[in-house]
Structure 1
Amino acid sequence: MFILELTYTAPVSAVDDLLEAHVAWLDEQYEAGVFIASGRKNPRDGGVIIAVARDRAEIERIVAEDPFTAAEVCAYRITEFYATKTAPALATYREQLPA
């Protein structure tokens, strides 16, 4: 599982200009089953996405397709972790530690 932390590198007005395209990209990733949750940080200096994927390379490819990335209005920090414990509603996302 991955935590994607976005930090804006441009004024929020530039981010807002791309928001519709970014939301469409988010919707595509939810449809593909990659994203589990997402939202703005408070204060509004970026956002957070929780994602599942085969590997980091897949996540990096997906992040590269974000209109925010293409326009260079944000930087991504990608953190991979093993979700060995979850709420019951997220049980299908539980992982085992690698051997």
Structure 2
Amino acid sequence: MFVLELTYTAPVEEIDALREAHLAWLDEQYEAGVFVVSGRKNPGDGGVILAVGDDRDRIEAIAASDPFAQEDVCAYRITEFTATRTAPPLKEYRQQLHV
């Protein structure tokens, strides 16, 4: 599982001009089953996305396809982790530690 943290690197006007395309991109990733949760950070200097998967290269490629990333108005920080515990409704996303 991955945490994708994006931080805006451009003025809000540039972000707003791309927001509709970014939201459509988010919808595509939800439909593909990659994204589980997303939202704006507080304060509003970026966002956070929770993504499922085991292939970091694939997640990095997906992040790079974000219109925000393509237009260089944000920077992504991607953190991989093993989701060994979840709330009951999210149990399908639980992972086993590989020791």
TM-aligned CA deviation for residue 12 of structure 1: 1.2
Unaligned segments of structure 1, at least 5 residues: none
Unaligned segments of structure 2, at least 5 residues: none
CA distances 1:32-71 after superposition (whole Å, capped 9, x unpaired): 0000000000100000000012310000110111000010
Q: Which amino acid aligns with 2:23?
A: V
TM-aligned CA deviation for residue 31 of structure 1: 0.2
Secondary structure of 1:83's aligned partner: coil
- Please name the residue that 1:49 is paired with: 49
Q: Which amino acid aligns with 1:9?
A: T
Note the aligned Cα RMSD (angstroms): 0.6
- Asked if 1:65 corresponds to 2:68, the answer is no
* Alpha-carbon distance in structure 2 between the residues aligned to 1:85 and 1:7: 27
- Asked if 1:12 corresponds to 2:12, the answer is yes
Structure 1 segments of 4 or more deviating over 4 A? none
- Asked if 1:94 corresponds to 2:99, the answer is no
Q: Which amino acid aligns with 1:23?
A: L
Percent of residue pairs bearing the same amino acid type:
70
TM-aligned CA deviation for residue 13 of structure 1: 1.2
Secondary structure of 2:25's aligned partner: helix
- Please name the residue that 2:25 is paired with: 25
Number of positions where the alignment pairs a residue of Structure 1 with one of Structure 2: 99
